[in-house]
Structure 1
């Protein structure tokens, strides 16, 4: 074989081997870095751009796609200990001409974390309103979406700032009393009785606890490699003290039933989506909301747990778009009447 040809094959082989070896090394040695690269890649692939905005000395981090148009903008609020990128699986199935904003809630990811901040649901609602004003999102009413803790924040926001909201989607929202205790609530009670009060199933500290949390939150059983579980734990451990403080705050008397206390004040068209097999927040909460909010649309998803956004992203996007179209048609009919 010609020496130049041989050199070409060696160079080509080496060029291919470098990224492969880098991937294998990251997977085995630095899985947390691989997870961050994964989110970075999908943000770019979906056209989501990350930006920062300040309210006085407080910084908000958010991602967005599209520009405000004739259709309402959509603001998406994530759940406890998550971040703005948890919505990427849903964003994938939404039209690119929709104006979407996913913001990190107070203390999460790129948004300011301060020991002096009020992390109760009411405190978070106040901060999100500051963010909305910073980015001029309330120049005209927008659609607000929230899941779990973010659903609690979204519902209370809609009740306290009705002029900002044209419609509301709550996905397995927290902040409601439940006649039926969920598996998660029972676990907390058992841990308290056994004297392990500092152990919270939603705040894992080992790969095994991470796996248990995923099983608790999802009906679908994802096969997650040990290295990825380790990476997920590694990413979270530096924030676990904050998560414990936050959990105690939102589970406390001031915030525990804040959505329930405010739901009668919600005037915007409302959609509720809940996984029937939710083991964190019992699905009976959907009926509570339906009875209190006029013309509330309720969708119970079979074979789905608490992580609706991750388990059923295509269905979530479909339901959201159908609901927005219904609300828009209703507004058009009012104008013609």
Structure 2
């Protein structure tokens, strides 16, 4: 008869072999498992919808009666899961829609489609019309998603009662290494091995305590996925980083008449915080928030501070007491 110790070793060996087999067949299984755990912890459900010629996957939850509906748009190389720390920090105040933008995450990507600011803004407008027709939303966008949100607010104001731009792309900010790399034709976010994955994380996070720990099986899956996505990422960056429409969000921001929140981190090494004032100069009803001690991923580095700023802004906006341009917290 096997001893208990030998049985335990055998069970562990079988589990390890099983995990290795699953890893070979589905390199992202561990990432998906963790994302599902985070979604449940945030009280969100996962659903799908067909809109704008794409199958969208989105997370959502209901809010209290009469509460605003907050829609969150992620950034370049991101996904809906980027918002989960902020979702948890917001508590149960609001109804939420958190989609993977077409081309990213679990949502559909089409070889014949373009995924720049203008195209994605049109798709977001159709997504909102499909899910919540006639219901104005509070639209939050981070990084690339901020540029998209600015265009949606400017072009379809009846759909957007207020817009929040967090570390948003779409203006010609002060030169930094990331921006110069993009203008030179590269992809500073490219990941094809463990070293470039570390550089990517270091570029978007300033606070070392907030940097995610990515164990080997998950890291291997992420690296493999980013390699497969390299051509797609380059094509998107050609549009949003240096194409004809790369500055369109900032140009059209002058048409935004809704209450606006502009939130940055002082140590953002991707979208330099000079972008905050460039957007503020164009949006008549802008509340400015500049956080210290965080980088590009304000959502994950300072979720409670961001949540506090979002809640204060939404409540003030709904009472008609927007802060004027130039206000700073």
Q: TM-score range by the shorter chain?
A: 0.7 to 0.9
| CA–CA distance in structure 2, aligned partners of residues 51 and 311 of structure 1 | 27
Which runs of 5 or more structure 2 residues have no equivalent in the other structure? 322-329
Deviates more, 1:261-270 or 1:240-249: 240-249
Q: Distance in 2 between matches of 1:92 and 1:55?
A: 27
Return closer, same or farther for 1:57/1:155 CA change in 2, 3 Å cut-off: closer
Q: For each residue in 1:186-234, what CA deviation from the matched residue of structure 2 results, as whole angstroms up to 9, or x when unmatched?
A: 3446xx4xxxx5x411121111011111111111123745625434312
Aligned to 1:235: 225
Which of 139, 148, 152 pairs up with 2:147? 152
SS in 1 for 2:89: coil
Q: Distance in 1 between matches of 2:274 and 2:14?
A: 49
In terms of mean alpha carbon deviation, does 92-101 or 54-63 score higher? Answer: 54-63
Contact 2:263 2:289 in 1 (8 A): yes
User: Does residue 314 of structure 2 align to residue 328 of structure 1?
Assistant: no
After superposition, residues 54-93 of structure 1 pair within 5 angstroms as 54-55=50-51, 57-67=53-63, 69-93=65-89
Does the aligned pair in 2 maintain the 1:151–1:172 contact within 8 Å? Answer: yes
Matched residues in 2 for 1:220 and 1:23: separation? 36
Q: Partners of 2:121 and 2:285 in 1: how far apart?
A: 24
Counterpart residue number, 2:325: none
Aligned to 1:334: none
User: Does 49-58 or 312-321 show the bigger shift?
Assistant: 49-58
Deviant stretches of 4+, over 4 Å: 9-31
Question: 1:262-297: per-residue Cα shift (whole Å, max 9, x none)?
Answer: 011001100011010111111011111222212311
**Distance between the aligned counterparts of 1:139 and 1:19, measured in 2?**
54
Instruction: Select between 202-211 and 247-256 the one with higher mean Cα deviation.
Output: 247-256
Structure whose CA Rg is larger: 1
Q: CA RMSD, aligned part only? A: 2.9
Counterpart CA distance in 1 for 2:62 and 2:11 is: 36
Deviates more, 1:180-189 or 1:13-22: 13-22
| Residue of structure 2 in register with 1:184 after alignment | 178
Matches within 5 A, 1:29-44: 32-44=28-40
Give secondary structure in 1 for the equivalent of 2:165.
strand
Q: Which runs of 5+ in 1 are unaligned?
A: 332-337
Scaled by the length of structure 2, the TM-score of the pair is: 0.86
2-side partners of 1:31 and 1:224: how far apart?
17
- CA deviation profile, 1:33-73 (whole Å, cap 9, x unmatched): 22221101111222211111113753111110115731210
SS at match of 2:56: strand
Could you tell me whether the CA contact under 8 Å between 1:286 and 1:298 is conserved in 2? yes
User: Is the aligned partner of 1:313 residue 2:303?
Assistant: yes
Does 1:200 pair with 2:178?
no
Aligned pairs, number: 317
Deviation at 1:11, TM superposition (A): 11
Give the distance between the partners of 1:235 and 1:296, measured in 2 at CA.
Answer: 38
Assess, with a 3 A threshold, how the Cα gap between structure 1 residues 25 and 278 changes in structure 2: closer, same or farther: same
Over 3 Å counting, the alpha-carbon distance change for 1:327 and 1:225 in structure 2 is closer
